[in-house]
A and B are shown apart, each in its own frame.
Chain A
Amino acid sequence: MSVFKFVLKLILGILMTVSLLGFIAISQIQNTVLNKDYVINMMEEDNYYNNLYSNIINDLKGYIGPSGLDEKVFNDILTSEKVKDDTIKVIENVYSGEEKEVEIETESIKSKLNSNIESFLAEENLVSENKDALDEFENKIVEEYENSIIYSKYYRYAKKVTSKIDLINFVKIGCIIGFAVGVIGIAFINIKNFKKNLSEVMTFVFANGIIIKVVTLYITTKIKIGYITILNTSFSIVLRDVLQDLINSISKIGTILITVSLITIVLSNLVFITKDEDEKK
């Protein structure tokens, strides 16, 4: 085999490997992070809505200290069902790809809070001298609830990503084409010795599997996925599980690719050599 052919095969092999890597990564991301049903299901499994509900109530209690009010003003202002409905509404909006931002109904919270505050003041024989301070307090509580449900900064970022799903599909198609070009190119180079094709293609699939294993091992040793903490505990639990699931599924694909390619390489070489010897005889 000439050096030129070897270099050309190597280039095509690299193209195949990179394309296959891209295809696997994109497919797995589409099946997990970019899959609305998967995310909703994961939230359900991790008891996200109940945890978030408890987090919100706990955060709201932090506003009580300087307010002169009592924690009981938060009684029944929201339910875990409302938290769940609003969260699903946000997720559906993120994955819809629409530019329109989600709207959360908060009037019921404000109205219940207002009624609780009035009852508390009446019970304690207190009079609010500054109506604006009470309004501001109610607004802060509503704002805190909205922020806890939407996470404005991350929500906008997520919307930006999901709006580019078409572009991601385009890249995925590019990966398939890249892989096909690699296979056809190698087949073309091996046109006079076509039997070698399978073992050579599988060589690059094997390389792919090893790279996947190296990358997943690098990620799991360098990043403590199980301890990622962003925003709050409930969100972090879901995020950790989604990332861990993503890494596990990619790693599993790596194992399958290594096993299948290695067996195929050995078998195809054996068959090729046997046939070659039989032909010589």
Chain B
Amino acid sequence: MQNRISKTLKATIINLIVAFLVILIIIGGVRLAFGQKIDEAVTLLNYFTLDLSDKKMTEIVYDQQYGLKSYPEYGAKYADIEIEKIDANLPVYFGSTLEILKDGVGHDSGSYFPGEGGSIIYMGHNSKNVFRRFSELQVGDMIKVTTTYGEFNYEIYDLKLIDEDQADMLPIQRDEEILMVYTCYPFNNIGYTTQRYVVYSKLVK
């Protein structure tokens, strides 16, 4: 009986060794042939994952010489914008979804942050609690942005009216710190607006 068991065990081990050989050949072959594509697919799928449990509000780290070393999470409030002339004091969120714009001012995620020395694009609705008095702004008025890492003051130097689709084409550069804030135009319109009113301002301190 013992002999039979040991023979059975031996035969089974041989079967398992063959099985693992097949497994190695198949997995190795697949890795060799499609390894890169599999990694790309995993990366792409993980791009669509949003694990809020391990997402802490990233503290923005600012370096005078090198600019920002870490950025806020998309949708997070990271600053306040104050425009004394029109009595506006609003929260600034990183991102520009309709959801964000319901609560305050959105920061175009394709633009720079205050202190980075480039183009910063903010936007807000022309509703009563956001930028309804935007038309009162003039060249020379000040805009103050208070972030979690510092205070930045900008002076308005130009005001322009552009078409809705041109808002996506506002110039992004890193030669000079320019804050562009826009809202829908006409200000007292009823219905859908197809124009945007842009205020251009330069960093003064």
0/1 interface trace, chain B 73-99, chain A, CB 8 Å (1 if under): 000000000000000000000000111
In-complex Cβ contact of B125 among A66, A135, A140, A229 (8 A): A66
0/1 interface trace, chain A 219-245, chain B, CB 8 Å (1 if under): 000111001111000000000000000
| A214 B27 Cβ-Cβ under 8 A | yes
- The reply to whether the CB of A67 lies closer than 8 angstroms to some CB of chain B is yes
Given A223-B49, A270-B8, the answer on whether A130 and B191 have CB atoms closer than 8 Å is yes
| A274 B4 Cβ-Cβ under 8 A | yes
CB neighbors of B among A109-156 (8 A): 121, 126, 128-130, 132-137, 139-140
Given A13-B22, A214-B27, A269-B8, the answer on whether A65 and B125 have CB atoms closer than 8 Å is yes
| Chain B residues closer than 8 Å to A223, beta-carbon distance | 42, 45-46, 49
| A14 B26 Cβ-Cβ under 8 A | yes
Given A126-B190, A266-B8, the answer on whether A211 and B26 have CB atoms closer than 8 Å is yes
**Chain A proximity of B137: nearest CB distance (Å):** 17
| B191 A134 Cβ-Cβ under 8 A | yes
In the assembled complex, the Cα of A133 lies from the Cα of B7 at a distance in Å of 87
In-complex Cβ contact of A68 among B50, B51, B190 (8 A): B190
Q: Which size class do B's interface residues fall under?
A: 35 or more
| A228 B48 Cβ-Cβ under 8 A | yes
In the assembled complex, the Cα of A240 lies from the Cα of B69 at a distance in Å of 34
| B98 A206 Cβ-Cβ under 8 A | no
In-complex Cβ contact of B49 among A67, A140, A229, A274 (8 A): A229
In the assembled complex, the Cα of A96 lies from the Cα of B130 at a distance in Å of 48
| B190 A67 Cβ-Cβ under 8 A | yes
Binding site for B on A (CB under 8 A): 10, 13-14, 17-18, 58-59, 61-69, 121, 126, 128-130, 132-137, 139-140, 199-200, 202-204, 206-207, 210-211, 214, 222-224, 227-230, 265-266, 269-270, 272-274, 277
28 A-B residue pairs with Cβ-Cβ distance under 8 Å, sorted by A, are: A17-B26, A18-B26, A58-B99, A59-B99, A61-B102, A63-B192, A64-B127, A65-B126, A66-B126, A67-B193, A128-B190, A128-B191, A130-B191, A199-B15, A200-B15, A202-B15, A204-B19, A206-B16, A214-B23, A228-B48, A228-B49, A229-B50, A265-B16, A269-B8, A270-B5, A270-B8, A273-B7, A277-B4
